[in-house]
Chains A and B, each alone.
Chain A
Amino acid sequence: MNNVVSQNIIRFVLLILLQSIVLNAINFLGYINPYIYVLFIILFPIKNNRLLFIFLSFLLGLTIDLFIDSGGIHAAACVTIAYIRPVVLKFVFGMVYEHQTIKFSATEFGQRLTYFSVLIFVHHLILFSLEIFNSSKIILIFKKSLFSSIFTIILCLLITILFSRKKR
């Protein structure tokens, strides 16, 4: 149990530092930035206290907001995906989720890809809608969220593959 807690604390701090120092300075093609820190929410243990989980996600988003001066947009996006995560898990993993026995490193690649993509795209859509906050620029919102999502999904998958322990 302690192992899981400390692992998540370290992941929380590392992802925030990585995001704010390295990744926010990428600006690929002028506006595409990956938001890797959602990996914390994606990989949070399934068996959890939902209240604590939602609160932690809020804290994560708020810290990122502090770093990049964006008001509360990251916090809003994080809270939302933390809230809808069980629904997405049920939709993607079906029966396995009902029994609460998922190990992300042991899931099929296709399932993992769908799970990551849904959460990351929802997160980015909320993020950019709130950031731009202008219905006349809806094309720009979709464009930004699509391209940034693709970037984030690829990086997230790479990171999970790199850092997964092969115990099978």
Chain B
Amino acid sequence: MQQILNFLIRHKTFLVFLLLLSLSLFLTIQSHSYQKSKFINSANIITGGVYGITNNISVYIDLKSENEILLEENTRLKSVLYNTNQENLTDLYRHATDANQRYKITPAKVIKNSYSSTNNYLLINKGQRDSIAQDFGVISSKGIIGIIDNTSNKYARIMSVLNTNIRVNAKLKKTDHFGSLRWNTESPEFVQLIDIPIQAPVKIGDTIVTGGRSTIFPKNIPIGKVDSFKIDDTENSYEVNIKLFNDMTNIGHVYVIKNLDANEISTLNNLDE
């Protein structure tokens, strides 16, 4: 017993070092797996507060370009609205205020963005008190941004599409061939779509949209366009390189999408298993 105690006291520095190192390795490994990174994330009062304050200052620099983006979106929506028939217009309004609507949209502001590491996250200034929870989709006016993966009372963390853990169901816009969206960490401008069946008529310049097979994103939200594609190692599917519509290095305002039917759909799916 005496010897064990002596050993512990003699090597206490090394033991503390080992303990702390294994603790940090444990946290690292946890952060590599989706939905397990619960402890260490920036959606808390201290870091969220600091980012909130700095964002309040830096937001003035981007005001002009943000305004242009909003104006562009407004123009597009207006042109859709005025080019529909008048009879359909009332229909459209009715849908927007329908009690049976399927999606609830919340606007939010990005207060921290990253795109240079292998697992990138964004932080927004809306959280649980704005009824935002895990697994809500996040889009901007140009296309998808990511999925909410952690929330605190006032802030929420988004797993960006530039994250090796992300999996988004996506498809070709003109046909219904779908695949899975990944990121190979090489460039913040491109993401990869894998498992597109070889029968699909993929062409350079084709638009890729979300597939709507998961409960996270609605159908037909734009993602990007095909930049290049090749047949993968299994030789029965394509690997498509997609140029994102969004400039992930410059994101201001985003919309959080809540699928109001998500619970119902997932209970149904669970019944199946």
Contact = CB atoms under 8 A, between A and B. Distances in A.
B116 A66 contact: no
Interface stretch (A16-24, A39-47, A155-163): A16-24
Q: Interface residues of B toward A: which range?
A: 35 or more
Contacts of A83: 13-14, 17
A34 interface: no
Given A66-B47, A71-B31, A76-B28, A54 B40 contact: no
Contacts of B169: none
A20 B50 contact: yes
Interface string B1-18: 000000000001110110
A72 B13 contact: no
A73 B24 contact: yes
B209 to A, nearest CB: 28
B40 A65 contact: yes
Contact of A130 (B14, B28, B41): B28
B21 A79 contact: yes
Interface residues of A, number: 34
B50 A71 contact: no
Interface of A, helix, strand, loop or mixed by DSSP: helix
Interface of A: 17, 20-21, 24, 27, 30-31, 33, 50-51, 54-55, 58, 61-62, 65-73, 75-76, 79-80, 82-83, 130-133
B133 interface: no
A131 B118 CA distance: 7
Contact of A70 (B23, B117, B249): B117
B157 interface: yes
B48 to A, nearest CB: 10
Contacts, number: 103
11 contacts: A21-B50, A31-B116, A54-B16, A58-B24, A68-B117, A69-B40, A70-B28, A73-B28, A75-B23, A75-B27, A76-B25
B121 A71 contact: no
Contacts of B30: 71-72
Contacts of B153: none
Given A71-B32, A76-B21, A131 B44 contact: no
Given A66-B42, A76-B24, A71 B37 contact: yes
Given A71-B27, A72-B26, A75-B24, A21 B17 contact: no
B58 to A, nearest CB: 9
Nearest to B55: A21
Nearest to B46: A66
A149 B46 CA distance: 29
Contacts of A72: 23-28, 30-31, 40
Contacts of B188: 30
A62 B41 CA distance: 10
